[in-house]
Every structure is written in structure tokens, then in C-alpha cells.
Amino acid sequence: MEKRPIGSLSVSIVGLGCNNFGWRVDAAATERIVHAALDAGINFFDTADIYGGTKSEEFLGRALGSRRAEVVIATKFGMAVDDRRKGAKSDYVRRAVEDSLRRLGTDRIDLYQLHQPDPSVPIGDTLEALDGLVRAGKVREIGCSNFSSKQIRQAETAVRPGAARFVSLQNEYSLLHRDPESGVLSECLQRGIAFLPYFPLGSGLLTGKYRQGQPAPPGTRLTSGGRFSGRLEGPNMDLVELLAQFAATRGRTLLDLAISWLVAQPAVASVIPGATSPEQVRANAAAAGWCLTADELAAVDTIVPPPL
């Protein structure tokens, strides 16, 4: 599989989002999914300390086992694990990385990401703590998530000469959520920051499982209530149908379109869909094989226009 850079790291253009591990997927199923990903040429695994109530990191580390050296592990800190473990203060950064290293069963984290901005802490303080982790060999590269263009610029300004800087940004981005095109992606390109789209399949809407006039499959994220259930209503399904028809006229699936379209965006380093089965991992990995032409990209824009 093609690889692209994130700082000094080299990652597969399709990675594996590990947010299902420890929540929708147990340890045994995690191992099957991880090994299917490795067999499909995926070397990039993205998790976070909060995923699965901290179990995602543990299950991922256990599943990788002796194959740890083959992969790039990304994890995150900053969102609340509990009332005491949260935020981006220097002392917590140092505690959080030790907790993640222990759960992952590794001596280094390849990409350590601030999960969200912490307005109570100057970004320069957080960057200084992260630079200390890089210098200590506990972290190879650092990144951020859920940052705006302005926050990226503030972080760049706060970096001391010669110190570690954010080399990646992870924000929501998909055919159904093109907000990063309003400045964030161009900021990343200008500064050489790799972009990692989360929810690349629109929380499942772009997998092809949900079609107009057909009952939604039971037991999926979008049918189990909660924060994602509303996505099956309104104009989303009209767009999904149009995108699926566009892909079908070219002998492709909606999944192929969703992943290959993101791969075609210049700032994107790796697309990181989640998976709950080995079959999903293999399908996601194979979906990146469509090299969309300029005309095809323009046609997609007529279906789902970019933000003004």
C-alpha cells in the first residue's frame, strides 16, 4: 500500500481507527481486526487514552505483540479520562504519556496528539512538555486534533527554535463534512502539516450500508441511538444516494468513493476508518485503489459542493 509522511514517520494511506476497541469490540476480536489490517498492508493505528474506557490502547498493544516494530502507533491525550486525568497542563502531559505507554506495552509512541485545545493552558507550555517527551525518546512526533486555523497558527508561533512542533492535525472530514476546506486544509499545506480525517465514512453513512427505501441494518452505530442517530434523517440520505449512484456508474462502490476521494486531497496523509470485523478492514484497505480524475473530482463537487 502507498505510504505518505507524517513528519519523520511513513504511514499507509489507509490506517485503522481504533475507537471501537474496548467498546464495541473485545480483546479477541481486536486481535483479529489488527492482524487483518497488517495483512492488508496497513501500518498506521490511531487510538486514544479515552477510547473504550482506556481499553483500546491495552487491546491494541496486546494484539500487536511482537509485530510492534512494523507499525506506527498514534494515540491522544487531553480529553477527560476521569475528573483528575484530563487537559494539557505540563504535569498531566508527563503523566498521560506514561499511562499510555504502559497500556500499549511499548517504550515509545510514534505520534502523540493533543486531543483537543485546552483554553486554560498556554499552548506554549503544552508544546514545551511535549518537546521534553520527544527529547526523552518517549515520543517520536507530536500532533493535534480539533484545532482551527487560528489555533494552528498560535501553536506554530509558540514553538521554540529547534523544539518539536505539531506535524499532524486530526479533524473531522468526509464527503458529508467538508468544513476543513474553509481554511484548515490550506493552513496545513502551507505549514507542511499532515491532515488525518476522522469520521471519514460519515459515522457509517458512506459505507453503503444505508440506502434510501431500505431498512437500516440493526445493531449499527447509527441505529443504536445516541449522538449519531440523527444522521439518518434530513438531506444526508439524499446525498448518500446521489454519491452511491455516481460511484456505481463507474463500477465502484460508495465506500470506494468515500475513501479514495479523501486520499485524493493533497493535505491528507492517511484515512483512518474504524472497523468491527476483519472483513471491514479488508474492504477499507481495498477502497483506496480508485485514482479519481480531475473530471470525477469536479463531478463530486456538483453533488456535494465545497464550502464557500
Catalogue the active-site residues: 51
Residues pairing with 105 in the sheet: none
d(C-alpha 65, C-alpha 89), whole Å: 32
C-alpha cell at 261: 476521494
- Please give the grid coordinates belonging to residue 166: 505539531
CB within 8 A of 8, min separation 6: which ones? 140, 141
Helix runs in 40-121, H state only: 55-64, 90-104
Distance of alpha carbon 52 from alpha carbon 43, whole angstroms? 21
Long-range contacts of 35-39 (CB under 8 A, 24+ apart): 35/63, 35/278, 36/278, 36/281, 36/282, 37/275, 37/281, 37/285, 38/67, 38/70, 38/71
* Sheet strand arrangement including 194-198: 16-17, 44-46, 72-77, 109-114, 139-145, 166-172, 194-198
Smallest CA-to-CA distance from 6 within 62, 48, 46 is with 46
How far apart are the C-alpha atoms of 185 and 188, rounded to whole Å? Answer: 5
The CA-based dihedral angle spanning residues 281, 282, 286, 287, taken in that order and rounded to the nearest 10 degrees? -40
Q: Among candidates 102, 100, 78, which has minimal Cα distance to 90?
A: 78
